[in-house]
């Protein structure tokens, strides 16, 4: 059953739609308590609460037993019919409304007072309850918050416990009430509140070149310039782990910064080979010495990349997960000649090892979530007669099997970034090109810069609040953007005054800067050294509510672009006034997509095509259910990617392409000519019960909950299956909440193997 618009463009009768959905939907008797625990709905608790209020009033005003049970039964029906798992607060609202409908005004008054009294008592220990639920592994919201964190293990729980305390402090003390209220209602999303109490920033580009060439300090130990490629790789992984433990977002480094150590190793190996031959009395044949040297060098490159691959997948940072890190592969980042040839060798080995994967505890080769890989397409590797075309072919094979690398078009990026080509910070956050930020040689500076944080506006809520009135929409958008501005200022001001001593690896020892001990980081928060991001979500649903059409429709696209331009104009206005580099950012929502959807449904009900899903669309993306071919999708989204200078990524959903690499290469060529940053979403699954390595599917269980099931043996135990899916720019492997799971289930293919 489709719940869209009628062919004449008019809204269908909402009552009719709800009746159909009531018939189709299986009963859902689960609720989410205040501590995040998902439990069974208990009708008798509603009856008891109303009876307590009933006992406190005169007999003449009391509700009858039949009325009380009718109210409870009506709430039960609403819970069963809900498209998502409702919260305790929502149930209390239903009860209150039900009492009023029975004209039990005096009972309602007592019920509200009782509810308020309980809330005051509850505030004193809500954080305690949340932590205890977390420790007992029954906090559903936290368990499904991050698809790359395992909430069972101690280190992750320790991070989540600290996060609960941070959120409590932020909610009660650190953030203004209007920001908290808007966040809780899903009007905006104040990202990473669980790290806000500490003065930590979001994501960054590590200045690995400076740290390797000029040395650094890790845990008080001086690390000098490495004298071999493998040691440089080892030091790199230690730097990555240290950086990850002192921030909460993603980080990126470039393989180009490791390339100089290949020739250092080559010279050392050559000297060893020559010495060995002299000691053995062998003929000093230059050609033989070169062949032996290059063979041993190749082995060291293999070992070095293995160090990166295994270290980054086995290290556990203080935030309870492997480092969220992106590896950048761009040939033209180094000069032509030997160093570029060496970089090509590193890139090739990185791709080949990633294509192989890593072994899980059962000894099965699987797809790791990290490091994320980005491969730059340029003139020297995009055509069949290009010098490095062979690398592009390997990249295509790797994407078809392991979902990475993702692709940056050097051609398109130069057009958008003043001739520059550089990596994002983590999955999609891009630094802006700033005239004030240049290296001594006059080139633009990117490595060492960072992002201060993100606040996302819910565009769907703006549209729904305006009730489809265009003038009112622009008024509300203006108000909400200023609310976001105030929230972003909170992020910025929280970082002001931070001494460099809180994270020496970042601020003193080269990852981001080399400040003095005791020096504050304030100067890095202004003048474009760092960015701060205005995120946005739900451009598609916003257009449907305001125009009755998808933003892919020629009649609706101008409105969508106008909204995007408005976001950019506000960022420019704020930047000019404050010397802070605000930028528009295509938010990679994970758990927030579910939260926003639930908030919209609670306030506005089920609006076909707008609020009838358990998720809303990431940033500017074409809706996951919309049928569109890969090339049309990329071309369309390119216009919106241009208006997300602070970061965005597009994708195409594809089937298993391992036997159709030519089609993958065709998509890559199209990316090069049409869009700056894009990826291919394929599948990489494994069932431990029957060794099935095809696609694990999503089905509904008897309670109507979406679960993962092996189509071969029927296994539904998530602990006995491996599922890798692109979540929002990066790969997720720890499963997802119901909203994101529904979004994954409903994705249509944009490319076929036919």
Residues annotated as catalytic (active site), given as ranges? 202-203, 425, 427, 429, 451, 585, 590, 729
Beta carbons of 622 and 538 less than 8 angstroms apart: no
Q: Check: CB of residue 372 under 8 Å from CB of residue 404.
A: yes
What gap in Å lies between CA 263 and CA 342, rounded to an integer?
A: 8
Q: What residues does 366 pair with on adjacent strands?
A: 358
Residue 667 and residue 626 in contact, taking contact as beta carbons nearer than 8 Å: no
Q: Using DSSP bridges, classify how beta strands 86-87 and 216-218 pair: parallel, antiparallel or unpaired.
A: unpaired
d(CA 669, CA 629): 15
Q: What are the DSSP E strand ranges found in 68-131?
A: 86-87
Please compute Rg for the chain using Cα positions.
28
Beta strands in 511-622 (DSSP E): 530-537, 581-586
Q: How far is CA 656 from CA 281, 425, 514, 624, in A?
A: 56, 29, 47, 18
* Parallel/antiparallel/unpaired status of strands 697-700 and 706-709: antiparallel
CA atoms within 13 A on the CB side of 89: 11
Report the alpha-carbon angle 134-137-141, nearest 5. 65
Nearest to 605 by CA among 180, 77, 36, 15: 15
Three-class secondary structure of residue 499 per DSSP: strand
| Residue 523, CA distances (Å) to 405, 497, 528 in order | 35, 10, 10
Distance CA 265, CA 284 (A): 20
First to last CA, the chain: 27
Q: Would you list the DSSP string of 590-646?
A: STHHHHHHHHHHHHH---TTTTSSSS--BTTPPPTTS---HHHHHHHHHHHHTT-TT
Beta bridge pairs of residue 325: 251
Entry field: residues in the chain: 754
Q: Residues 65, 71, 74, 79: what is their CA dihedral angle, to the nearest 10 degrees?
A: -120
Coil/strand/helix, residue 352:
helix
The conformation of residue 535, written as its DSSP 8-state character, comes to: E
Distance, in Å, from the CA atom of 745 to the CA atom of 740, rounded to the nearest integer, reads 9
Report which of 262, 196, 271, 190 is spatially closest to residue 231, judged by C-alpha positions. Answer: 262
Q: For the purposes of burial, counting CB atoms within 10 Å of the CB of 442, is it exposed (0-12), middle (13-18) or buried (19 or more)?
A: exposed
What does the alpha-carbon distance between residue 18 and residue 605 come to, in Å, rounded to a whole number? 10
Half-sphere exposure of residue 654: CA atoms within 13 angstroms, side-chain side: 28
d(CA 344, CA 364): 29
Residue 26 DSSP class: P
């Amino acid at each position: 059953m489709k719940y869209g618009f009628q062919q004449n463009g008019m809204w269908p009768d909402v009552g009719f739609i709800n009746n159909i959905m009531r018939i189709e939907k299986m009963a859902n008797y689960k609720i989410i308590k205040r501590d995040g625990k998902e439990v069974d709905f208990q009708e008798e608790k509603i009856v008891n609460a109303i009876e307590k209020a009933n006992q406190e009033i005169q007999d003449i005003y009391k509700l009858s037993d039949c009325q009380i049970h009718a109210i409870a039964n009506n709430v039960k029906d609403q819970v069963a019919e809900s498209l998502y798992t409702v919260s305790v607060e929502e149930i209390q609202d239903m009860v209150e409304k039900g009492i009023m409908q029975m004209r039990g005004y005096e009972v309602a008054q007592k019920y509200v007072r009782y509810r308020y009294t309980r809330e005051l008592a509850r505030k004193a220990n809500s954080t305690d309850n949340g932590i205890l639920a977390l420790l007992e592994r029954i906090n559903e919201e936290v368990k499904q918050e991050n698809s790359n964190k395992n909430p069972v293990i101690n280190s992750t729980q320790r991070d989540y416990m600290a996060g609960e305390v941070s959120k409590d402090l932020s909610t009660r003390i650190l953030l203004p009430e209007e920001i908290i209220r808007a966040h809780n209602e899903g009007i905006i999303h104040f990202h990473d509140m669980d790290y806000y109490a500490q003065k930590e920033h979001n994501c960054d580009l590590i200045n690995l070149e400076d740290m390797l060439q000029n040395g650094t300090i890790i845990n008080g130990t001086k690390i000098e310039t490495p004298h071999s490629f493998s040691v440089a790789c080892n030091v790199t992984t230690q730097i990555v782990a240290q950086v990850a433990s002192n921030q909460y977002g993603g980080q990126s480094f470039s393989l180009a910064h490791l390339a100089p150590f290949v020739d250092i190793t080559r010279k050392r190996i050559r000297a060893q080979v020559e010495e060995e031959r002299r000691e053995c009395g062998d003929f000093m044949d230059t050609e033989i010495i070169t062949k032996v040297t290059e063979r041993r060098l190749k082995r060291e490159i293999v070992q070095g990349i293995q160090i990166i691959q295994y270290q980054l997948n086995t290290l556990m940072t203080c935030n309870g997960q492997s480092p969220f890190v992106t590896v950048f592969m761009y040939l033209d980042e180094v000069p032509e000649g030997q160093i570029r040839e060496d970089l090509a060798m590193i890139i090739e080995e990185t791709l080949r090892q990633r294509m192989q994967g890593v072994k899980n505890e059962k000894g099965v080769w699987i797809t790791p979530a990290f490091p994320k890989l980005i491969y730059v397409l340029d003139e020297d590797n995009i055509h069949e007669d290009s010098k490095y075309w062979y690398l592009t072919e390997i990249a295509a094979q790797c994407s078809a099997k392991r979902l990475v690398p993702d692709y940056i078009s050097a051609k398109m990026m130069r057009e958008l970034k003043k001739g520059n080509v550089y990596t994002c910070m983590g999955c999609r956050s891009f630094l802006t090109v700033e005239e004030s930020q240049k290296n001594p040689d006059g080139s633009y500076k990117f490595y060492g810069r960072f992002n201060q944080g993100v606040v996302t506006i819910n565009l769907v809520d703006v549209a729904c609040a305006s009730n489809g009135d265009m003038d009112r929409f622009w008024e509300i958008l203006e108000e909400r953007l200023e609310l976001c501005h105030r929230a972003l200022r909170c992020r910025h001001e929280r970082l002001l005054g931070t001494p460099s001593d809180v994270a020496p690896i970042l601020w003193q020892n080269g990852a981001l800067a080399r400040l003095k001990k005791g020096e504050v980081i304030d100067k890095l928060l202004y003048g474009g050294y760092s960015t701060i991001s205005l995120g946005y979500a739900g451009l598609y649903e916003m257009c449907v509510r305001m125009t009755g059409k998808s933003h892919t429709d020629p009649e609706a696209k101008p409105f969508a672009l106008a909204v995007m331009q408005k976001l950019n104009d506000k960022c420019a206005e704020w930047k000019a006034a404050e010397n802070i580099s605000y930028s528009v950012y295509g938010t990679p929502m994970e758990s927030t997509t579910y939260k926003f959807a639930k908030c919209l449904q609670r306030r506005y009900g089920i609006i076909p095509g707008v609020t009838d899903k358990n998720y809303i669309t990431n940033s500017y993306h074409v809706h996951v259910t919309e049928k569109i071919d890969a090339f049309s999708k990329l071309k369309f989204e390119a216009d919106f990617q241009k208006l997300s200078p602070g970061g965005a990524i597009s994708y195409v959903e594809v089937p298993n392409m391992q036997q159709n690499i030519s089609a993958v290469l065709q998509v890559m060529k199209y990316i090069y000519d049409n869009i700056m940053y894009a990826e291919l979403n394929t599948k990489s699954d494994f069932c431990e019960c029957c060794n099935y390595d095809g696609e694990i599917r999503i089905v509904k269980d008897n309670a109507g909950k979406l679960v993962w099931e092996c189509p071969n043996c029927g296994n539904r135990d998530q602990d006995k299956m491996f599922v890798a899916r692109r979540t929002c720019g990066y790969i997720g492997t720890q499963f997802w909440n119901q909203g994101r799971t529904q979004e994954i289930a409903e994705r249509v293919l944009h490319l076929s193997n036919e």
